[in-house]
Amino acid sequence: MSALAANRARIGPNAILQHLPVLDAAIGEALRGALLQRAGVAEPPPDAGMLPEDDVARLHHAVRLFLPDRAPAIQRAAGLATGDYILAHRIPALAQRLIRTLPAPLGARLLAIAITKHAWTFAGSGRFRVLGHRPLRVEIQDNPLASGPADAPICHWHAAVFERLFGALVWPNVHVVEEACTAMGDPACIFTIAPIGRVDRAVSLG
């Protein structure tokens, strides 16, 4: 993707909005405002539409840069809250009931299809695809939110969004592991999504 296209890419506002109350609780509203200022990001209104990808990426990077010890927990909490928002406002109740009534493998496939159709809202200029279903593995190539370098996977927000959605609709005991991350120099950010125990075995055998 060209630099011009990437600059025009946009990501859903919850990638920033759901960070704000978590940051307020963790460091206070004043320091949260200073963090946004250092990141060069204006606080979006509650009814904000899609936001420039670069703004979202700068905030995620700033959280990791200035709060390195707290960043995983902060971004996980923001991701879980984003998942809650999607469940409350973006996935129709009828579709949720359908996914829950299906056998878990079929429900996971249906949810993965829905996520793929709307991947631009959380991957921006990155490219999302399903790699396989036994176990479910997905990837984001050129993930704009995975700025490096890093010595461990850093996509806690994305992992938590997947955890909330699949935990609510498919596997109550779901576990999400980011097994590869572009911030570490890997070709793509790859996530394994499966019930606890099964995902650990899949990653260890991979």
Write out the chain's pLDDT in tens, 206 residues.
444 445 589 999 999 999 999 999 999 999 999 999 999 999 999 999 999 999 999 999 999 999 999 999 999 999 999 999 999 999 999 999 999 999 999 999 999 999 999 999 999 999 999 999 999 999 999 999 999 899 999 999 999 999 999 999 999 999 999 999 999 999 999 999 999 976 555 554 45
- CATH number corresponding to 3-205: 3.90.1520.10
Amino acid letter for position 140: I
Q: Please give the Cα distance from 47 to 50 (Å, whole number).
A: 10
pLDDT for the residue numbered 1 = 45
Span between the terminal Cα atoms of the chain, in Å: 29
Q: Please give the Cα distance from 170 to 32 (Å, whole number).
A: 35
pLDDT for the residue numbered 2 = 42
| Contact indicator for 140, 126 with CB cutoff of 8 Å | yes
And the tokens for 87?
């469940």
pLDDT for the residue numbered 197 = 76
pLDDT for the residue numbered 203 = 52
